[in-house]
Structure 1
Amino acid sequence: MQFNFNSTEPIYRQVADQIEEAIFTRTFAEGEQIPSTTEVSKEFHINPATVLKGMNILVDAQLIEKRRGVGMFVIAGAQARVVEKRRNQFYDDYVKKLVSEARKLHLTQAELSSLIERGFSEQ
């Protein structure tokens, strides 16, 4: 994990985002224990309450769960939930804007699909 202490994004949000990314990439597998609040706070010199606030975002999103006296664990199905969330964000952040711009250019759906296929083939 790496934190940008000069960022406008709060540290607790960075904690949540980085753990979510680790779940997405399967660095933290479903059923696996993640580093404790204490471990993260000591390693990165972050207030434990700040780390806990970030982790609680993921508890609320049903990506990790607290097991009293044992620690935090990745919930079964968490990776799929992250993928679904990111697909929805991709649609909202990119596809809607792409379609809007295509309409302004009077591109048909077929023309837009052709351009997308071209983009895939050039990669």
Structure 2
Amino acid sequence: MKFNFNSAKPIFLQVAEQIEDAIFTGTFKEGSQIPSTTEISKNFQINPATVLKGMNILVDNKLLEKRRGRGTFVSVGAQSKIIKNRQENFYNDYIVNLVHEAKNLNIDEIQIINLIKRGYKA
């Protein structure tokens, strides 16, 4: 994990995003235990409360589950939830803007498809 302490994005959000990325990429497998709040805070010199706040976001989103006395584990189905969420965000963040800009440039649907195909070939 790498944290940007100069970023406008709060550290707890960076913690949540990096753990989510590790689940997405398979670094943290479903059902596996993730490092403890204490381990993360010591390794990266971050306040444990900050790490916990980031982890709790993922618990609230049902990507992580806490097991009393055992630790925090990646929830079964977490990776597919992340993929589904990122696909929806991809549409909202990129496709909507792409279509809007294409219309402004008088680029029709077929031309957009051809440009996308060209991008895949490159």
Same-fold call, TM cutoff 0.5? yes
Residue type of the alignment partner of 1:56 = N
Q: Give the 5 Å matches for 1:24-35.
A: 24-35=24-35
Moved >4 Å (runs of 4+): none
Within 1, Cα distance between the matches of 2:118 and 2:3? 37
- The residue aligned with 1:50 is 50
- 1:90 paired residue number: 90
Equivalent residue number for residue 78 of structure 1: 78
* Deviations 1:85-117, CA, capped at 9 Å, x for gaps: 111111111100100111112222112111111
TM-score (normalised: structure 2): 0.96
Cα displacement string for residues 35-76 of structure 1 (whole angstroms, at most 9, x for unaligned residues):
000111111111111100000000011100000000000001
Q: Which residue of 2 aligns with 1:104?
A: 104
- In structure 2, give the amino acid aligned to 1:55: M
Task: Work out the CA distance in 2 between the residues paired with 1:118 and 1:44.
Answer: 42
Q: TM-score, normalised by structure 1?
A: 0.96
Alpha-carbon RMSD: 0.8
Equivalent AA in structure 2 for residue 73 of structure 1: F
Q: Number of residues paired by the alignment? A: 122
Q: Residues of 1 paired with 2:3 and 2:90: CA distance?
A: 24
Query: Any unmatched runs of 5+ in structure 1?
Result: none
